[in-house]
RNA sequence: GCCGGGGUGGCGAAACUGGCAGACGCGCCAGACUCAAAAUCUGGUUUCCGCAAGGAAGUAGGGGUUCGAUUCCCCUCCCCGGCACCA
């Protein structure tokens, strides 16, 4: 008998699939279905997280093809990014070469896993054929006012003279040279994602059901809509008021001072010529030199300094001192806060520390707050006091009453603020897509004309890790002519954030590799949106939010018809070993190559799907891998040992089978029904595999008793074996293709999911538990559909039950047909 | 601190709408095969009491709703992930 030889089988079927283009679109004629896994960063080698992610996606794609869908299942490379540049500095290898070699190696690794991708649509984001389109989108956005430039801060290493990413800052120091990192202000490009804040929030409702609830919640909080009011305070000695944002306009009468962010644009003017000026400047310098993380760390000391200036509370004319405080953020709200120490804990602490005035304006029911004895701020409900005409109002009503009052006076209005900020997309890096802009001394900022796209990255550059962006030192790149006046001009040397590339790649697959347009309308309309997206939970906010934003922008630009890119989302857990996430530094990585070498790709796939349901973390176990391998061997042996008998079996006559064969067939059809739901609806591959294992065990036991397979028994087994190949095909495609071939069946990549024969799956008799006072005391068997009265009678006659019921008073009998009986006695 | 997700045998897990807790796999124990081992096959395996039949306890801990709770509600503890003073 032939033995299971994964290496030989796998390479043969991988060649066959490639040769026949088995996974191109249009192979199946049914309705469209788009299955997508998050594309990898080409770091060098695939890791177990990839194996898991892509095994899940491949199982879904292959199952949908069996169901008759025309499936789009593409793969590509998120190929721009920091590690390529670091490798260039460290190993003197060009980022392009490094990246392309990594892609070639990893593509081969994925091919050896047998994933069913349509490689004809492969994209790599570092190629001009890809990034030219996002340069075009950027120009579109610029024209619509969605892309703009503004000053913002970056991490700057003064020794390396370069901008650092957040991950390159370790405890406030540069990761390369340990110099203290400074905050430097640069002009940078931004995309107006905040214009879409309301829609991004509202459309989360459409995704409910298809997306995990926790991801929706996280996005909800990230967008962070706050409803409140803007209030204008006149400033003594100035004709320009200061505006604050507050969610508590009801406490306005209790505002006793004001706090500004150190970066607030009015600070220099407020302190000009005052004795406090030097102290304020020193404070501002100190706070600004801290990195954001240190400044906002938990338990961080709340600090501030008085500016010497005063503002006027618009509702009661109170003079309120203006302070600068380290906890006020310049980029949230208006960068200025009205402080109400009695009803905001942070303001309470600040006022206590600096001896500032406290006034109670909300009194809770049945209590009387006194500022001098309060230990903490009171932020609950109550009635207004010391608030002029608003005294006695419930504080919730007062919010709107005061906001309206301010509106009438022209000193404020209802206002909504989002936590979401505009997306800064400028990076002072080489290995990214150039931003297609030109600076001319005469004409200012001029977009690159569309016919000149793509703006290509020059390949001749040096990587030293010092002196800023290598692109800025590339003479051939910087110098250009102004498209307007044809005078001398310079190119923008910043490149796009790599999140830009990953925000639209799923749409590009619909038309890749077309070089005439980013998308062909009919194609993108046919395939978008992605029906099932699969990836790590770590992308719950940024990548998924940016992709949703881009899709809406591309819709408004007329490129696509959809407003949401991903209909269903599956977030998979991490791969853990020895209680920690697999990582090189912990030394607990398992190399997929070695695994495939030893057991084959099918075993790696079975294990990664069997060990846990997709959304949970997966605990790696070498023993578990061997278990998966043994299961494939058992299945192989079961089928191959009976090949001759089942291949010569007569036609199946389902209506006239003896009881023992009806039992076998019932197990087969019941398993098929369960696997169909587990794979197709629940994505719980672990229980689907368990069900097939059970069936294999059942069939083995039956065959041991049965001996020779003859007549209708062989026919029943022929059906059983063909079902097993179909059920396992999404999970272990190579071995099942081989078995189907040995059984004389058509290749599974062309095949169809079998249908359950409801009659065959129907139970002839069922056994249900009988409880007495909730404790299991017996079991009774009956035909399905037996009446409640009859079930009760059978339960009462059961010997085990009788001993517990005799001599007691029966209070109640609960009968749930097909489930259980509970007899309540006293 | 806030938000989110969890806690079930020695281990990974299952129990989908409140209805037999522990399917399936791993490990372990015993047996078969073998000179022996590996591989494979067969049987057993939640804990406690009992030779057994059987009984009792049991899903982090405490309480509640219910004929019945791993599942629903309240409180407490622990673990993981995300965010970080959001006015």
Backbone angles phi, psi at A14, to 5 degrees: -65, -40
Res A639 pLDDT > 90: yes
| pLDDT tens digits, A649-672 | 999 999 999 999 999 999 999 999
pLDDT tens-place string over residues A688-733: 999 999 999 999 999 998 888 999 999 999 999 999 999 999 999 9
Q: Which nt has its C1' nearest the CA of A767?
A: B20
The pLDDT value recorded for residue A173 is 72
Q: How many CB atoms lie within 10 A of CB A196?
A: 21
Q: Which nucleotide is nearest to A678 (CA to C1')?
A: B16
Report d(CA A686, CA A609) in Å as an integer: 6
Contacts of A162 (CB under 8 A, 6+ apart): A156, A428, A465, A466, A467, A468, A469
Q: What percentage of residues in chain A have a pLDDT greater than 70? A: 96
Query: How long is the CA A49 to C1' B40 vector, in angstroms?
Result: 33
Percent of chain A that is helix, strand, coil (3-state, to 5) = 40, 20, 35
pLDDT one-digit tens code per residue, A95-142: 999 999 999 999 999 999 999 999 999 999 999 999 999 999 999 999
Q: Which two tokens stand for residue A499?
A: 């999140």
Between CA A631 and C1' B56 the distance (Å) reads: 38
> How distant is C1' of B44 from CA of A663, in Å?
26
pLDDT for the residue numbered A297: 45
pLDDT digits (tens, 9 = 90+) for A195-249: 999 999 999 888 888 888 888 888 888 888 888 999 999 999 999 999 999 999 9
Query: Is the pLDDT reported for residue A294 higher than 70?
Result: no
Tell which strand B nucleotides have any atom below 7 Å from a protein Cβ. Answer: 1, 3-5, 11-16, 19-21, 23-27, 39-43, 55-57, 67-69, 80-82, 84-87
What span, in angstroms and rounded, lies between the C-alpha atoms of A728 and A726?
Answer: 6
The better pLDDT of the pair A541, A62 is held by A62
A690/B28 CA-to-C1' distance in Å:
21
The pLDDT score that the predictor gives to residue A799 is 83
Distance CA A576, CA A584 (A): 13
Least confident residue range of A53-62, A127-136, A180-189, A800-809: A180-189
What is the model's pTM? 0.92
CA–CA distance, A631 with A691 (Å, rounded to integer): 12
Predicted confidence at residue A804, as pLDDT, reads 87
Cα angle A501, A504, A508; round to 5 = 105
What is the distance between the alpha carbons of residues A715 and A549, in angstroms, rounded to a whole number? 56
Whether the CB-CB separation of A247 and A225 falls below 8 Å is answered with no
What three-state secondary structure class fits A72? strand
Of the candidates A631, A640, A738, A636, the residue with the CA atom closest to the CA atom of residue A694: A631
Residue A298's pLDDT band (boundaries 50, 70, 90)?
very low
- Residue A600: name the closest of A189, A9, A171 by CA: A9
Residue A297's nearest nucleotide, by CA–C1', is B84
- Predicted confidence (pLDDT) at residue A153 exceeds the cutoff of 60: yes
Calpha distance A87→A170 (Å, rounded): 19
The two structure tokens encoding residue A616: 């949970």
**How many percent of chain A have pLDDT more than 90?**
64
Q: Which nucleotide is nearest to A541 (CA to C1')?
A: B82
Nucleotide nearest to A245 (CA to C1'): B87
Full strand arrangement of the beta sheet holding A182-191:
A162-164, A147-157, A182-191, A423-424
State the nearest residue by CA to the C1' of B56.
A775
Confidence band, pLDDT 50/70/90 cuts, at residue A760? very high
Residue with tokens 């695994």: A595
A585-CA/B23-C1' distance, Å = 38
Output the average pLDDT for chain A: 90
Look at residue A27 in the predicted model and tell me its pLDDT.
92
Q: What is the pLDDT of residues A397-443, one digit of tens each?
A: 999 999 999 999 999 999 888 888 888 898 888 999 999 999 999 99
HEC-encoded secondary structure of A229-265 = EEEEEEECCCCCCEEEEECCHHHHHHCCEEEECCCCC
What is the spatial distance, in angstroms and rounded to an integer, between the CA atom of A742 and the C1' atom of B43?
33
At residue A174, the pLDDT reads 73
Sequence-distant (6+) residues with CB within 8 A of A200 are A193, A219, A223, A420, A545, A548, A549, A552
Q: A501 is written with which tokens?
A: 């590339």
pLDDT of A182 strictly over 90:
no
Spanning CA of A226 to C1' of B23, the rounded length in angstroms is 49
Name the nucleotide nearest A580; use CA and C1'.
Answer: B80
Kindly indicate the confidence band of residue A186, based on its pLDDT and cuts at 50, 70 and 90.
confident
- Distance, Å, A622 CA → B20 C1': 34
Helix axes A82-91, A95-113, angle to 10 degrees: 120
- Model confidence at A584, pLDDT cuts 50, 70, 90, reads low
Residue A400 near residue A424, CB atoms below 8 Å: no
Local structure of A807: helix, strand or coil: coil
Query: What integer pLDDT is reported at residue A431 of this predicted model?
Result: 94
Distance, in Å, from the CA atom of A481 to the CA atom of A438, rounded to the nearest integer, reads 8
User: Which nucleotide lies closest to A774 by the C1' atom and the CA atom?
Assistant: B68
Angstrom CA distances, A25 to A8, A34, A35, A74, stand at 28, 10, 12, 10
ipTM here: 0.94
């Amino acid at each position: 008998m032939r033995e299971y030889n994964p290496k030989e089988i796998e390479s043969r079927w991988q060649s066959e699939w490639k040769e026949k283009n088995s996974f191109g679109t249009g192979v199946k004629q049914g309705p469209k279905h788009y299955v997508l896994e998050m594309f990898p960063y080409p770091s060098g080698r695939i890791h177990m997280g990839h194996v898991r992610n892509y095994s899940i996606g491949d199982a879904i794609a292959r199952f949908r093809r069996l169901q008759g869908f025309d499936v789009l299942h593409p793969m590509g490379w998120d190929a721009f990014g920091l590690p390529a540049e670091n490798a260039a500095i460290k190993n003197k290898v060009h980022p392009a070469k490094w990246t392309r070699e990594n892609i070639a190696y990893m593509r081969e690794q994925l091919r050896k896993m047998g994933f069913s991708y349509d490689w004809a649509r492969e994209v790599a984001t570092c190629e001009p054929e890809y990034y030219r389109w996002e340069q075009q989108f950027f120009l579109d956005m610029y024209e619509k006012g969605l892309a703009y430039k503004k000053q913002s801060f970056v991490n700057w290493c003064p020794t390396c003279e370069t901008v650092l990413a957040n991950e390159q800052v370790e405890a406030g120091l540069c990761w390369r040279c340990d110099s203290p990192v400074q905050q430097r202000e640069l002009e940078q490009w931004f995309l107006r994602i905040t214009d879409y804040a309301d829609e991004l929030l509202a459309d989360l409702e459409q995704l409910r059901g298809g997306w995990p609830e926790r991801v929706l919640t996280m996005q909800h909080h990230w967008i962070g809509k706050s409803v409140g009011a803007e209030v204008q305070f006149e400033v003594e000695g100035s004709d320009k008021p200061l505006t604050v944002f507050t969610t508590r306009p009801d406490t306005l009468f209790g505002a006793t001072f004001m706090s500004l962010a150190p970066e607030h644009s009015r600070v220099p003017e407020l302190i000009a010529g005052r004795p406090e000026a030097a102290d304020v400047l020193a404070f501002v310098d100190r706070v600004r030199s801290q990195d954001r993380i240190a400044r906002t760390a938990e338990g961080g000391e709340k600090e501030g300094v008085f500016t010497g200036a005063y503002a006027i509370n618009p509702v009661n004319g109170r003079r309120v001192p203006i302070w600068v405080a380290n906890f006020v953020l310049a980029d949230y709200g208006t960068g200025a806060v009205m402080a109400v120490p009695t009803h905001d804990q942070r303001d309470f602490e600040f006022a206590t520390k600096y001896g500032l005035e406290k006034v109670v304006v909300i009194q809770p029911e049945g209590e009387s707050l006194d500022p001098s004895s309060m230990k903490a701020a009171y932020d609950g409900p109550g009635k207004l006091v010391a608030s002029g005409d608003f005294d006695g109002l419930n504080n919730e009503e007062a919010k709107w009453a005061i906001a309206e009052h301010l509106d009438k006076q022209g000193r404020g209005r209802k206002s909504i603020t989002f936590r979401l900020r505009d997306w800064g997309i400028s990076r002072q890096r080489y290995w990214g897509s150039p931003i297609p802009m030109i600076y001319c001394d005469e004409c200012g900022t001029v977009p690159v004309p569309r016919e000149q796209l793509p703006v290509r990255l020059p390949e001749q550059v040096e990587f030293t890790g010092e002196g800023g962006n290598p692109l800025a030192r590339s003479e051939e790149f910087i110098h250009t002519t102004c498209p307007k006046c044809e005078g001398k001009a310079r190119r923008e040397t910043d490149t796009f954030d790599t999140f830009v590339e990953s925000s639209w790649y799923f749409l590009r697959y619909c038309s890749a590799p077309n070089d005439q347009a980013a998308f062909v309308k009919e194609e993108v309309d046919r395939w978008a949106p992605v029906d099932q997206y699969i990836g790590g939970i770590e992308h719950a906010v940024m990548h998924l939010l940016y992709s949703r934003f881009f899709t809406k922008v591309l819709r408004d630009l007329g490129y696509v018809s959809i407003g949401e890119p991903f209909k269903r989302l599956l977030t998979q857990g991490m791969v853990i070993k020895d209680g920690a996430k697999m990582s090189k530094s912990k030394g607990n990585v398992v190399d997929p190559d070695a695994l495939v070498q030893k057991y084959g790709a099918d075993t790696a796939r079975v294990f990664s799907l069997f060990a846990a349901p997709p959304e949970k973390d997966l605990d790696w176990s070498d023993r578990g891998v061997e278990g998966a391998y043994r299961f494939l061997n058992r299945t192989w042996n079961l089928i191959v040992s009976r090949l001759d008998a089942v291949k010569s079996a007569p036609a199946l006559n389902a209506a006239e089978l003896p009881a023992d064969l009806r039992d076998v067939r019932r197990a087969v059809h019941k398993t098929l029904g369960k696997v169909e739901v587990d794979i197709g609806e629940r994505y719980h591959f672990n229980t689907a595999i368990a069900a097939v294992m059970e069936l294999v065990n059942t069939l083995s036991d039956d065959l041991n008793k049965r001996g020779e397979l003859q007549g209708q028994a062989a026919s029943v087994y022929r059906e059983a074996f063909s079902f097993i190949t179909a059920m396992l095909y999404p999970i272990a495609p190579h071995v099942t293709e081989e078995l189907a071939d040995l059984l004389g069946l058509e290749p599974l990549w062309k095949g169809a999911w079998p249908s359950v024969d409801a009659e065959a799956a129907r139970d002839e008799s069922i056994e249900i538990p009988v409880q007495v006072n909730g404790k299991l005391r017996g079991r009774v068997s009956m035909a399905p559909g037996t009446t409640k009265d009859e079930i009760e009678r059978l339960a009462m006659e059961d010997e085990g039950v009788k001993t517990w019921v005799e001599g007691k008073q029966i209070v109640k009998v609960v009968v749930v047909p097909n489930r259980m009986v509970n007899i309540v006695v006293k």
